[in-house]
């Protein structure tokens, strides 16, 4: 199992990093669309649709993707920025308000509600992948590192100190100590970025930046928990078996689907506010 995971990771990482760093804008957006397409298919399997409803949902999801890609590439009347910003706001509201309530109440809504939620999970994620990369490939990588650092720090802190369960009915392996470890790891990463970019003297900007890092860490935890809750509702361990040893695409990008759209919105607001 471990060997399979390692081999899959070794096969995927060069492709993902190569596309991120070297691919032209249009090719990167198509590559990101591939991830969104697989994630949509996996999501449809978790909703509990009947066969016909699942096909209809997938067809409509493909239409959304095609429309977004067309607006992104052609951008008639400069519509894409307006549509993208609206979807990022909707995704931020979903992750910051709807998902915490959803998980707190342990809701099991009907398939059509899960389908609507899926579009807020998948397509703002695609928008964030292309928008952040358009700003800077290194910015996208730096934000993705928040999720990876949080995940690694939470794993080791949870194994070493974990006693109080975070959400035992959703993901029994996660603990509050793991969350604190994730926050610690991300804040250390944030301070390193600040010192590297602006020097060692703290400024008021440090507080804002580190607060954003804390918010993104919390949102990454919500993304992880929400996908776990979806899988529990569907009675499956993994979203699919597309990635040997890792499960499905959603299993690998669950925290990114929540973190990147919120990060993209924050970055756009910083640009607007100066």
Which residues are CB-neighbours of 58 under 8 A, at least 6 positions away?
A: 40, 41, 44
Looking at 43-57, 63-77, 95-109, 247-261, which range is the least confident one?
63-77
For residue 12, the model assigns a pLDDT of 81
pLDDT at 97 over 50: yes
- Mean pLDDT, the chain, rounded, equals 91
Q: Calculate mean pLDDT across residues 82-88.
A: 96
For the stretch 18-39, what's the b/e string if a residue is b when 16 or more beta carbons lie within 10 angstroms of its beta carbon?
Answer: ebbeebeeeebbebbbebbbbb
77: pLDDT confidence band, cut at 50, 70 and 90? low
Instruction: Give one word for 65, left, alpha or beta, with left for phi > 0 and alpha for psi -120 to 50.
Output: alpha
For residue 273, the model assigns a pLDDT of 46
Count of domains for the chain: 1
For residue 8, the model assigns a pLDDT of 67
Q: Is 173 helix (H, G, I), strand (E, B) or coil?
A: strand
75 vs 20: CA distance, rounded Å: 22
Determine the structural domain holding residue 80 and report its residue range: 2-273
Cβ atoms of residues 156 and 175 within 8 Å: no
258 vs 156: CA distance, rounded Å: 22
Sign of CA dihedral 232, 8, 65, 121: positive
For residue 153, the model assigns a pLDDT of 95
Cβ atoms of residues 143 and 220 within 8 Å: no
pLDDT at 6 over 90: no
User: Which helix (H) or strand (E) covers residue 17, if one does?
Assistant: helix 2-22
pLDDT at 79 over 70: yes
Cβ atoms of residues 239 and 251 within 8 Å: yes
The candidate with the shortest Cα–Cα distance to 271, out of 9, 88, 94, is: 88
274: pLDDT confidence band, cut at 50, 70 and 90? very low
pTM: 0.94
56 vs 58: CA distance, rounded Å: 5
pLDDT tens-digit readout, 105-137: 999 999 999 999 999 999 999 999 999 999 999
Percent of the chain residues past pLDDT 90, beyond the cut: 78
The candidate with the shortest Cα–Cα distance to 122, out of 225, 54, 42, 47, is: 42
User: Which helix (H) or strand (E) covers residue 156, if one does?
Assistant: helix 137-161
Three-state DSSP string of 234-246: HCCCCCCCCECCC
pLDDT at 234 over 80: yes
Number of Cβ within a 10 Å radius of residue 215: 15
Task: Scan for tokens 């590297």, then name that residue.
Answer: 196
For residue 197, the model assigns a pLDDT of 80
pLDDT tens-digit readout, 164-223: 999 999 999 999 999 999 999 999 999 999 988 876 667 778 899 999 999 999 999 999
């Amino acid at each position: 199992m471990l060997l399979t995971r390692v081999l899959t990771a070794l096969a995927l990482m060069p492709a993902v990093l190569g596309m991120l760093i070297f691919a032209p804008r249009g090719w990167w957006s198509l590559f990101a669309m591939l991830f969104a397409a697989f994630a949509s298919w996996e999501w449809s399997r978790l909703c509990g649709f009947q066969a016909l409803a699942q096909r209809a949902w997938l067809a409509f999801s493909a239409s959304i993707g095609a429309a977004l890609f067309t607006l992104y590439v052609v951008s008639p009347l400069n519509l894409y920025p307006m549509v993208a910003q609206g979807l990022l706001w909707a995704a931020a509201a979903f992750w910051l308000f709807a998902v915490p309530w959803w998980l707190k109440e342990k809701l099991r809504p009907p398939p059509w509600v899960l389908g609507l939620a899926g579009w807020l999970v998948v397509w703002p994620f695609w928008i964030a992948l292309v928008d952040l990369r358009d700003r800077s490939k290194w910015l996208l990588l730096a934000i993705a590192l928040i999720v990876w650092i949080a995940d690694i720090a939470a794993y080791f802190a949870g194994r070493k100190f974990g006693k109080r369960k975070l959400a035992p009915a959703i993901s029994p392996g996660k603990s509050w100590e793991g969350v604190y470890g994730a926050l610690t790891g991300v804040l250390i990463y944030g301070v390193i970025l600040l010192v590297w970019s602006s020097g060692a003297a703290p400024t008021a900007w440090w507080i804002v930046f580190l607060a954003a890092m804390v918010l993104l860490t919390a949102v990454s935890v919500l993304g992880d928990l929400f996908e776990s809750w979806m899988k529990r509702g569907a009675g499956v361990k993994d979203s699919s078996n597309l990635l040997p040893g890792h499960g499905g695409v959603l299993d690998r990008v669950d925290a990114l689907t929540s973190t990147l759209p919120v990060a993209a919105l924050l970055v756009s607001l910083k640009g607007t506010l100066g």
